[in-house]
Structure 1
């Protein structure tokens, strides 16, 4: 009986070790290139076009005010010699006030454009993050790294790159396929 105990114990140990290694999830380290996802995502193009249209309209409004102010300044320069001292002072004050108002408006518009850009970018990033999270859960990945060219992932095999697969799925989901 003693002669059988040792071989059975060794077989049991080997069987438990094999079971342990085979029962471990097959973890593969994968990543996506965030920049490629943002640039290749169809919604990015749609959101960016809408943003650029809105920003263009806002900038055109500012440009219109500046042109109008410049025209008033040219008129003032032409008519200056025929104005009284009081009229000159009043006109100069009006032009300076208008210039200050235009500068304030221009700063407000630039701030609004910047906030709209951040909002648009965050909307796209949220879409991508939600999709990658759902994709990872569905495919059984414990971690999907995000690479953005800033040193997060310095090297990875091409087989670890899920960017195109995720991008295709993301665009299909956005387009309702």
Structure 2
């Protein structure tokens, strides 16, 4: 009987010595959307998008003037010549549309590549943060996919990591400025 008590006591002592898992969570949407580098990237691409739209509008207006001039010429020309003129316009319109679609796709692909890079950067940062601060798990959640149904505020690392993430960018910028 005495041995059983010692075995049970030893098991209790050993199990209480086992390290507790340190768990935190972040709201992925807030973390990414409030990351300053992502905001800067979106602003940069908004400027590019605006410039693209202005250019497309300018090309569209120039083409409309060309259409009007060509229609005026076509009315004064023979039917065969008018058909040639209008056919040339249709071909030019298709080329312009294809060029604009191509440029829009390039802009979209470029943005997607850079935003993917930002997301990878955030994931790597969270991973390093977890390692440095002794977390066993840092879970991610969003409104669309709630993997964390409940968590106490002290386990919500979203703002803490966001501050550290944005702070890291500021430190890098300050170090770069000092070197120059």
Q: Normalised by the size of structure 2, how large is the TM-score?
A: 0.84
Runs (4+) off by over 6 Å: none
Distance 1:115 1:131 in 2: 24
Shift, 1:108, TM fit: 0.7
Distance 1:101 1:174 in 2: 43
Q: 2:97 maps to what in 1?
A: 103
Shift, 1:12, TM fit: 5.1
Q: 1:15 maps to what in 2?
A: 10
Distance 2:143 2:114 in 1: 21
Over residues 78-107 of structure 1, what are the superposed CA-to-partner deviations in whole Å (9 max), with x where a residue is unaligned? Answer: 343222334312211211111000111122
Could you tell me which runs of 5 or more consecutive residues in structure 1 were left unpaired when the two chains were aligned.
1-5
In angstroms, what is the RMSD of aligned CA positions? 2.0
Shift, 1:17, TM fit: 1.9
Q: 1:132 maps to what in 2?
A: 126
| Number of matched pairs | 171
1:172 to 157, 167, 172: 167
Distance 2:81 2:112 in 1: 46
Task: Indicate the SS of the match to 2:171.
Answer: coil
- Between Structure 1 and Structure 2, whose CA radius of gyration is higher? 1
More moved, 57-66 vs 106-115: 57-66
Equivalent pair of 2:71/2:86 in contact (CA under 8 Å)? no
In the alignment, structure 1 residue 143 sits paired with structure 2 residue 153: no
In the alignment, structure 1 residue 163 sits paired with structure 2 residue 163: no
Over residues 106-156 of structure 1, what are the superposed CA-to-partner deviations in whole Å (9 max), with x where a residue is unaligned? Answer: 221221122122112112101101100000101111221111222232522
Q: 2:49 maps to what in 1?
A: 55
Q: Normalised by the size of structure 1, how large is the TM-score?
A: 0.86
